[in-house]
Amino acid sequence: MNTHTRHRLLIFLPRNQYINPTEEVFLRYLAREHRVLFYGPGYVREGDLEKDARRVYDRYGPFDAALVHQYFLYGDMKKAERSCYFPFNVKDFVEKNPSFPLHFNALPCVRIAMLLRMDYYALTREQVRILEDFPGYFLSWPRQFIKAKAELPKLNNEAFYESVTDNYRCFLSENGERIIPFMHLIDDDHIYPVRPGGKKTTVCVPGHLYSERRRALDYLSQTGFRSNNRSMLASGLSRGLETVSGRGLYARKWGIRLLRSMFRNRIRRSWISFTDGSLLRWPIRKYFEIPAYGSLLVCDPFNNYRDLGFETDKNCFMTSAQELPEVVRYALSHFQETLGVIKRSQAMIKEFHSASVRVKQFAAVLDAIRKGSYLGARWQKGELLIRTQPPENAPGKGTPY
């Protein structure tokens, strides 16, 4: 039973689709459980779109909280157009509405900036200053899973090394009580039952070929295991389409649907799936998708993985790319143990990282913010623990993590 308030929420964002469905699924489930008004291009006809956030609030409100998408906060929608599908003319909208929505920072309710698509390691000082000036909270990954660049000694092996900064990590350190911690989630309807008869492939390495995944494919090939990676084929097709028409697969609705289906089916048909978080040791979505889709998660661990409920030998096997073939052989020769690990991993995802759970966590944080008691939150063993201060004049020091 949901014991949290059913909130009235005003969300300023452009209608869009992105290859990573985390934000899209979260908003869909949020709208199921709360009274949500989505407002922006694609949701409202161009001629009816009100530019002033306060007028929207006064017309449809009041609201308990208002959220604004990072595309509006930073005005970088045109930059996102290459990797995101928008069902409206982005260039035309940006030229006519350079500061949409106006007066958001003056709304008389809780204000939240949605930063779920932020490249946290690539933030510039100018972008951080925009966050520092924002009068509200941030729905974002927390510092808990973001290591400093100096703590990642092998990072220079990745092609993106030069663009990595600690700017956002420093911001998080100084603003912990303004952060609403968020992490990837899985659509409740996409946690599939394990069907051994549907497994056509022994092992796969899905997704972008970071350096450790390339090494994993090399070691598998050297030991006789085949794992065809289709990300290069998809990337090549996308680049070809972009050259011909100006838009690749990632900026097309059908292309996004195709790529999502390819990733999902490839994992579902594999007994074992290997992933890593690049040399950033990042908790990417594949750590959550692989168990949900009924494959054995074998992985190079991400930063503070236990805090999100991952436990090696219980709900996943953790290993390096070099040792992957040995782990694959072990898993194949211990069928019942492997099946047990897969089922426990699915139970963990359902308990801690389903969309419905993430919406309840958000509602609980918002409850605390509206009461004026919120002091921050962090994950521990899969659960999001909220720290609060006691009511005025009450004894005690508040709720510990």
25-47 pLDDT, tens digit per residue, is 999 999 999 999 999 999 999 89
Is residue 110 helix, strand or coil? strand
At 49, the pLDDT band (50, 70, 90 cuts) reads very high
CATH number of the domain enclosing 331: 3.40.50.2000
d(CA 65, CA 287) in angstroms, rounded, equals 31
At 188, the pLDDT band (50, 70, 90 cuts) reads very high
* Backbone angle region of 128, left / alpha / beta, with phi > 0 → left and psi within -120 to 50 → alpha: alpha
Q: Is residue 158 part of a domain?
A: yes
d(CA 168, CA 171) in angstroms, rounded, equals 5
Q: Are residues 319 and 333 in the same domain?
A: yes
Q: Is residue 396 part of a domain?
A: no
At 79, the pLDDT band (50, 70, 90 cuts) reads confident
Q: Are residues 180 and 206 in the same domain?
A: no
Q: Is residue 399 part of a domain?
A: no
143-167 pLDDT, tens digit per residue, is 999 999 888 888 887 878 888 899 9
Beta strands in 182-311 (DSSP E): 201-204, 270-275, 296-299
Q: Are residues 334 and 381 in the same domain?
A: no
**Residue-level pLDDT at 239:** 59
Q: Are residues 373 and 257 in the same domain?
A: no
Q: Is residue 1 part of a domain?
A: no
Question: Are 283 and 178 contacting, i.e. CB atoms less than 8 angstroms apart?
Answer: no
Q: How many CB atoms lie within 10 A of CB 351?
A: 12
Average of per-residue pLDDT across 296-304: 96
Q: Are residues 85 and 174 in the same domain?
A: yes
Is residue 383 helix, strand or coil? strand
**Residue-level pLDDT at 78:** 85
Q: What is the DSSP string of 286-353?
A: HHHHHHHTT-EEEEPPPTTGGGGT--BTTTBEE--TTTHHHHHHHHHH-HHHHHHHHHHHHHHHHHHS
87-104 pLDDT, tens digit per residue, is 999 999 999 998 999 999
Q: Is residue 400 part of a domain?
A: no
170-186 pLDDT, tens digit per residue, is 999 999 999 999 999 99
Helix, strand, coil percent content, the chain, rounded in steps of 5: 45, 15, 35
Q: Are residues 304 and 200 in the same domain?
A: yes
Q: Which amino acid is at 133?
A: D
Q: Is residue 216 part of a domain?
A: yes
Retrieve residue 123's tokens: 């933030």
Q: Which amino acid is at 42?
A: G
Q: How many CB atoms lie within 10 A of CB 364?
A: 18
Q: Is residue 398 part of a domain?
A: no
**Residue-level pLDDT at 237:** 59
Q: Are residues 199 and 130 in the same domain?
A: no
Q: Are residues 177 and 223 in the same domain?
A: no
Nearest CA-CA partner of 194 in 20, 353, 338, 351: 338
Q: Are residues 150 and 205 in the same domain?
A: no
**Residue-level pLDDT at 236:** 57
Q: Are residues 239 and 149 in the same domain?
A: no
Q: Is residue 401 part of a domain?
A: no
Which residues are within 8 A (CB) of 127 and not within 5 positions of it... i.e. 6 or more apart? 74, 167
Q: How many CB atoms lie within 10 A of CB 326?
A: 12
Query: What angle in degrees, to the nearest 10, is found between the helix axes of 324-333 and 335-352?
Result: 110
Domain count, the chain: 2
Beta bridge partners of 186: 354
Whether the per-residue pLDDT at 257 is higher than 90: the answer is: yes
Q: Are residues 63 and 177 in the same domain?
A: yes
Residue 45 sits in which domain range? 8-185+355-388
Q: Are residues 258 and 379 in the same domain?
A: no
**Residue-level pLDDT at 199:** 82
Instruction: Enter the DSSP assignment of 75.
Output: T
In sign, the C-alpha dihedral spanning 166, 167, 168, 169 is: positive
